[in-house]
Amino acid sequence: MLNASQLCTDFIKKIENSKNLSFLTIYAYKSDLSDFIGFSDQLNIIDYVNNLRLVKKLKDTSIKRKLVTINMFYEYLLDKGLVDNNPISKLKFNFKKERKLPKTLTIKEVSKILEVIDRSLTETTSYFSVYIYTRNAAVMDLLITTGMRINELSSLKLEDIIYHDHTILIHGKGRKQRLIYISSQTTWDRFKNWLKIRKDMECNHTYVFTNRYHNRLSIYAIEDIYSKYKVQAKINNQSTPHYLRHTFATNLLSNGADIRSVQEILGHSSITTTQIYTEVTNKRKRQVLNKYNYRNKL
């Protein structure tokens, strides 16, 4: 393909201008196309897929995502008259229908995180440490209480806070917006404490959560904050901040919330995405009944 890299750049610019896609989605498209173009000058799709499966050992879900991107790219080239056909439209691949259950923390593990947060706040000595720990406490507690994604937390701006209603406006995937009510008074108080310290530090940045240089707190910094707390709390070392979102959703359903409400709270476009959490709750119910139901022993 002649000047494939330039065509890739033109394609990315087009979808950036025509679709409401998040930064992370655009980045994924760039990465997928760069990987595909870098594989071979001939851009043989079958060889490429075999390389992904046999050499790189990628899962079917990852390969399917890459093929979606490549298919969009060829449709773009076809529309511009740069190719005669879309080779992906003629190919069929056998993919496993794999549906993984969301990974969650136990209530006890979440409690341990909150205990570490409380302890860190009482052990602060310098003003700078108060600044850092107050911010970290607000970050962690908001993730626990709202189930928002870390990129949504990173994108939160001062103008998104509705103070009188204890509510924040979240900018989700595909630039969809949703309102989340902060139901825990402790979480709201920690959030306000951070905002007060932030104001005292004369931070003029529009983003709510900032680093020591008063720049926007990145998703990588949030992951690092979570990592430090999970080590101190001695909980599942494999866990990530996204476990908190899964834990939040699973417990809403376990405690009787209807699935439509949970869908809206999480910002899922489709209810089928939310339904996977019901499988987790059903699995836990079976475990409880197998272990504790007295009838099992009669």
Q: Which residues are catalytic?
A: 149, 173, 242, 245, 268, 277
Burial of residue 134, with CB atoms counted within 10 A of its CB: 0-12 exposed, 13-18 middle, 19 or more buried:
buried
CA-based torsion, 127, 132, 133, 135: positive or negative: positive
Residue 267 exposure: Cα atoms within 13 Å on the Cβ side: 18
**β-strands 167-171, 161-162: how paired?**
antiparallel
- Please list the helix, strand and coil fractions of the chain in percent, rounded to the nearest 5, in that order: 65, 5, 30
Q: Where are the beta strands (DSSP E) in 9-80?
A: none
CA–CA dist 211, 191 (Å, integer): 16
* Residue 129 CA, distance from chain mean position: 28
Q: Which of 189, 188, 154, 187 is nearest to 171 (CA)?
A: 154
Report the Cα–Cα distance between both ends of the chain, in Å, rounded.
Answer: 72
CA–CA dist 22, 173 (Å, integer): 6
Q: Which of 76, 184, 88 is nearest to 137 (CA)?
A: 184
Residue 154 exposure: Cα atoms within 13 Å on the Cβ side: 17
Q: Count Cβ atoms below 10 Å from residue 88 Cβ, excluding itself.
A: 17
Tokens of residue 233, six digits:
């709390």
Tokens of residue 171, six digits:
């900018």
